[in-house]
Amino acid sequence: MTRLHRQPICVASALMVPMAILATPPWLGLDGVPPCWVVLWLLPWALADGPISGALAGAALGLVLDGLTLDGLTLVPALIGLGWWWGRIGRRASPVQRSFNLGLLALLGTGMLGLTLLLQLLIGAGGALEPSQWAWGLHTLACQTLVTGVLAPMLVSLQLLLWRRRVPV
């Protein structure tokens, strides 16, 4: 058995994130906002493989997703931080096993990711956003955080079970 980042099937699973973002059915989102697929993939990866692998996977996925949008906002710093943080939780603490804990970690991660995007939007606007931009940002943040937190116990726990079987203890 080897680490996750040395197994081609696990690395190839990262390609599912951009495909899921592009092909999310409308009924899976909340008020037109889809779940944060990158958080749903990165959380179990970092918990199973550790902080360095989590940070590198976050950087790689962030660059790929930034290439899809090309809007000037970047996901890379937030995903590196989340991958590192979740990887440290997976290595330092007792194993995260309860679905509620996984949902809470995904909820917090999606919220932090959304807040970094709002902060970048605020800095790019020179510190002054219109009320409609604030409303749009907070609405998107709330919907994406909620739908990701609801889906995380099911999807993340399945991935975590599969990937922990592939990683030596």
**Please, are residues 103 and 152 in contact by the beta-carbon 8 Å criterion?**
yes
Average pLDDT, integer, range 115-134: 83
Entry pTM: 0.89
Rounded Cα gap, residues 104 and 7, in angstroms: 28
Q: Tell me the per-residue pLDDT of 139-166, one tens digit each, with 9 for 90 and over.
A: 999 999 999 999 999 999 888 888 777 7
Q: Which fold has domain 4-166?
A: Arp2/3 complex 21 kDa subunit ARPC3 (1.10.1760)
Average pLDDT, integer, range 83-92: 89
Please indicate whether residue 80 or residue 130 has the higher confidence score (pLDDT).
80
Write the single-letter amino acid at 143: C
Domain limits of the chain?
Answer: 4-166
Residues 6 or more apart in contact with residue 113 via CB below 8 angstroms: 36, 38, 39, 75, 78, 79, 82
Highest mean pLDDT among 6-20, 85-99, 104-118: 104-118
